[in-house]
Structure 1
C-alpha cells in the first residue's frame, strides 16, 4: 500500500469520479481505476459503489476516507519535519494563476527556483478558484477580487490598483491628455472582464471616465501589448507591465489620478498538512510580489 495511492483515493472522493481525478493529476483513467482496485484488494473492502452514472462511497469507504485524512495530514507534517532538518526542500507544487499575472509572477518564480532548485513548479491558468483548486489538484491559487467560499484559507498578497498608460510613440503622434475630459478625444484600449463586460468606464477614486474604446480583449497581456504598440491609451495594473514601464515603453499619464484598488489573494484548502515546499513558496510570494509591485 503506497501513500500515493491513499492520496489518489482522497482526490477521487473529492472530485467524485475517476475521470476527474485522472484529469487533475494528468494520469490515464485506467491507471486511476486500476490503483483504486488494488487498494480495495489490499484492504479486502469495497470502497466505492460503481455505476455508469455515479461513483459513491460505501459505508467502509466513508469511514476509511475520514480516518485517512487525519493520517495523511500527520504523514505530511512528519515529512516536513524531516525536510526542515535536512534544509533541502524537495517536491512538486501546483499553482493556479490568472493569465494576466504572468509577467509579474514569472520572475518571482524563477528567483524561487534558484533558491530551491529541487522544487518543481507546475503552473496552471485558472479562472474559478473554488472549482479549479480541486479539479486541477492545485496546492494554492492566486485570485483577484472577493473571496466567496469560507472553506478556504485566503491570505492577502497585495492591493492592486490601475493607472493610465500610453506608449511614447502614441503620445508623440496624438498629444498628451492634460485632463480627464481630454481622454474622450483619444483612442482607448479596453479590457473585457470574464463575464463579458467591457471596461470602457474607468473607475477612479474621484471620477468615472467614459472612454472611446477602439480595441478590446479579455486578456490583459494582449491589452498591454496593444498599448505598447501604440494602438491607444490603456488602463491597467502596473504590476502587469513592469518590464514595459521600467524600459519606458509605457508612460503613465495623468498620474495625479488613482484608481480604486482590488485585493489579490493566495488561496488554499483549509488543511494543516500543507507541504513544506508549498509553505515556502507562499511565504516567498507574500514578500516578493509586494516588493516587485513597489517598483512601479
Structure 2
C-alpha cells in the first residue's frame, strides 16, 4: 500500500461523501478507492468510515485522521512547490571551489555579474589550489585548470589557459636570455610546487639545470610573479597571472618555441541529471562570460 495515495484517497472520500464521487475526482475506479480505504483501515487497525447505501461518514477516529491528513498533504504539496521553484528558477546558496590566484584575480567580476542577473543565488566561494572532492566536501561546482582526466564528474570548458615562461628584463640582461633548453643551465628557477608532475619540458629542464641552492619553490603563483618581477629568476605561469606584467614589460616571455599546448579552465560538477537551476545558470553564465581569447591574454 502506498500510504500517501491511500491518505489522499481517504481525504477525497470524506470530502465527497461517496466512493463513486471520490473516484471521479481522482480519476480512478470506485473499486480501487474502496481498496485503498480498506487497506488504510487495516493498516491503522481502526474503522475510519461508517458506510450507508447513500453516503459514507467518518468515524470519530476518521474525522481526526482526515483533519491531520489534510494538513500533512497540504504541507507536502507546499514543500514540493517550493522545491519546484529551485528547479524552475535559480535560487539558494551556490558553493564553489576555485584556485587561489585565478579566484582572486578573475572571479570577483564574474560572481558580481552573475548575482546581478540571479539575485536569489548566494555565493559561498572557497579558494584552494589543492584538488577538492566536490561530492565529499559538498561543493556544487569546482573551477579547475589543467588537462582533465576521465572521471565520473562532468566538465564544462570555460576558457583556454596559456602557459608561458618568462623573467624580468633586468634578470635576463644580467644572466643572459635562454634561447634553447640547454641555455637554462645555471638559471634560477622560481618553481610552482603543484607542477611537480608536469610534463612541461621547460619545467623539467629547469628542474635539472637550475641552481637549486638559489631556487625558490612556492605553492602560490602570485608570490612567484612578484619574485620574478623583482628579478629573482624564471617563472612558468599562466597568462591569467603573468599577463599584466608582460603587457607592462615588467616580464618578458622566453623560449616561445617550447610553449606547451594550452590548458583549460573547466567548471566541474557531479551530475548532469536533475541539475539544480543555480548550478545550470552559473555554468551557462560562466561559459559566456569569458571572451575568446580571454581578457587576461597578453
TM-score bucket (shorter structure): 0.5 to 0.7
Q: Are the equivalent residues in 2 in contact too, given 1:191–1:198 (CA < 8 A)?
A: no
Which of 128, 132, 150 is residue 131 of structure 2 equivalent to?
Answer: 128
The count of aligned residue pairs is 213
- CA pair 174-156 structure 1, distance change in 2 beyond 3 A: same
Report the Cα distance in structure 2 between the residues aligned to 1:244 and 1:73, rounded to whole angstroms.
Answer: 53
In structure 2, the residue matched to 1:27 is none
Unaligned segments of structure 1, at least 5 residues: 1-71, 84-88
Report the alpha carbon displacement of residue 170 of structure 1 after superposing the two structures with TM.
Answer: 2.4
TM-score normalized by the length of structure 2: 0.58
Unaligned segments of structure 2, at least 5 residues: 1-78
In structure 2, the residue matched to 1:203 is 201
- CA pair 222-77 structure 1, distance change in 2 beyond 3 A: farther
CA RMSD of aligned residues (A): 3.5
Q: Give the 5 Å matches for 1:1-296.
A: 76-81=83-88, 83=89, 90-102=91-103, 103-117=105-119, 119-126=121-128, 127-129=130-132, 131=133, 133-144=134-145, 145-150=147-152, 152-193=153-194, 197=196, 202-203=200-201, 210-212=208-210, 213=212, 214-289=215-290, 291-292=293-294, 295-296=297-298
Q: Are the equivalent residues in 1 in contact too, given 2:155–2:267 (CA < 8 A)?
A: yes
- CA pair 190-276 structure 1, distance change in 2 beyond 3 A: same
Report the Cα distance in structure 1 between the residues aligned to 2:269 and 2:279, rounded to whole angstroms.
Answer: 10
TM-score normalized by the length of structure 1: 0.59
Report the alpha carbon displacement of residue 245 of structure 1 after superposing the two structures with TM.
Answer: 3.1
Any idea what the Cα deviations from partners look like across 1:240-273, whole Å, max 9, x if unmatched?
Answer: 3333334333221233332144344211121533
Secondary structure at the counterpart of residue 241 of structure 1: helix
